[in-house]
Amino acid sequence: MINIAVLGYGTVGSGVVKVIDINGEVIARNTGQEVNVKYILDLRDFPGDPFEYKIVRDFETVINDPEIKVMCEVIGGVGKAYEFTRRALEKGISVCTSNKELVAKHGAELLALARENNCSYLFEASVGGGIPIIRPIMEALTAERIESVSGILNGTTNYILTKMEREGADFAEVLKEAQAKGYAENNPAADIEGYDPCRKIAILSSLMMGKNVDSEKIYTEGITKVTAADFAYAKEAGYTIKLLGQSKAQGDEVLAMVAPFMISKDHPLAMVNDVFNGIFVTGNTVGDTMYYGRGAGKLPTASAVVADVIECAKNVGQTIPCFWDQEQVALADISQVEWKYFLRAKASAKADVEAAFPGGRVIAVEGCEDEFGYITEAIVEKDFAEKYEALSDSILSRIRLA
């Protein structure tokens, strides 16, 4: 039997306890031993909870119990979570987490600490919820030089965009509904401004490069400016709009960004709807691979945490290797990248737009005669920005094409 502690009894924490409870038999088979949740650390009361008797309030109880071999850090944030993780790893206790903020910010440092203390720091659940993505990158694609990673990394925004597309509704309206249903937080900035997918693409980029990619340096644009009208034009042109995290190895640099993109309806990511996530990983010999599943949610995320617990249980006393050094990777300058752009502009500016971006394609949508859609030829971001600036009074939207 292996004893573990769950730090934080919120959504994911209670999911971890539940997954271990309902799948105990399968886990025992796969681990060769039973996994026992000895402590649940939380400051709150949970009267009537079936696992109430396991709840402790003091981290010292947990850290000083030599029976504890693995901790699940599902507190979130970079305060107590960071402190507890460091203290556990320093004592040789492995830590499994879903905390993307902490992994993005201190992942390389915590991995080094785990190596020094012959234990492991695992974070499968920090990207893509229940989708196995960290492990395939680390193991199954281990014979590969990974060239790029991109995808739909945030379930809340994908839910909002899917609903906007299907119902022709505007952003604010759908956000309100998503908040009412609990799919979006009361303070939704982390999702809708793209901070959450930014942390995730930073983690994936770091694994791809084997070195640290600073999430704070990644160009990040959310979905707040995407409109129902944009979707109408996208549909007319055979596209949809998705919030993508993208990362591409360019020699020693990495080109990483988060932004809404128009993608062809034929692209496999166009099928990734609602709260689902889909992540493309391209290797130099395997080509494109994609991983799809529920990117969030109590049980899917908890399932990924528990898979990591099992991995730690099988490797007590040793470090599961993860190549993510503390050395910083330089970020490539996105102003030098070439894209096609979708523009929506006032009808009165049609001649100006066509002159500024020659060779593009006009898209007309019925009932929108006072404006028009336009897809430019490929143009360097910097050149586009200059021309866009000059026309900004007439341009209503601009979205890159992936």
Q: Which are the catalytic amino acids? A: 200
What's the chain's length in residues? 402
- Please give the structure tokens belonging to residue 371: 């404006």
* Interaction between residue 187 and a copy of itself (CB under 8 A): no
Q: Which two tokens stand for residue 286?
A: 């395997």
Q: Is 363 in the site for a copy of itself (CB under 8 A)?
A: no
272 contacts a copy of itself (rule: CB under 8 A): yes
DSSP bridge partners of 401: 262, 340
Closer CB to a copy of itself, 22 or 390, in the complex: 22
Footprint on residues 141-170 left by a copy of itself (CB under 8 A): 141-145
In the complex, the smallest distance separating the C-beta of residue 28 from a copy of itself, rounded to whole angstroms, is 11
Number of residues located near a copy of itself, criterion CB under 8 A: 58
Choose between 9 and 171: whose C-beta lies nearer to a copy of itself: 9
Instruction: Assess 135 for contact with a copy of itself (CB under 8 A).
Output: yes
Least Å distance, CB 352 to a copy of itself, is 38
From the CB of residue 351, how many other CB atoms can be counted at a distance below 10 Å?
8
Closest CA to 300 of 69, 19, 7, 68: 19
DSSP 269: G
Q: Which parts of 49-143 fold into alpha helices (H)?
A: 59-63, 80-90, 100-116, 134-135
Sign of CA pseudo-dihedral 362, 339, 148, 134:
negative
Residues 317-336 that bind a copy of itself (CB under 8 A): 321, 323
Only one of the segments 178-186, 224-232, 277-285, 376-384 lies at the binding site for a copy of itself (rule: CB under 8 A); that segment is 277-285
Q: Is 121:219 a contact under the CB 8 Å cutoff?
A: no
Q: How far is the CB of 267 from a copy of itself (least distance, A)?
A: 8
Q: Is 34 in the site for a copy of itself (CB under 8 A)?
A: no
Classified as helix, coil or strand, 316 is coil
- In the structure encoding, which two tokens stand for residue 100, read together? 């993307």
Q: Which of 29, 366, 369, 370 binds a copy of itself (CB under 8 A)?
A: 29
Quick check: 74 binds a copy of itself (CB under 8 A)?
Answer: no
Q: Which of 5, 27, 127, 257 binds a copy of itself (CB under 8 A)?
A: 27
Residue (45 or 327) nearer to a copy of itself, CB: 327
Cβ–Cβ under 8 Å, residues 209 and 322: no
What whole-number distance in Å separates Cα of residue 155 and Cα of residue 214?
A: 23
Contact 99, 81 (CB under 8 A): yes
Binding site for a copy of itself (CB under 8 A): 15, 18-20, 22-23, 26-27, 29-32, 124, 130-132, 135-136, 139-145, 210, 266-268, 270-273, 283-294, 297, 299-300, 302-304, 306-307, 309-311, 321, 323
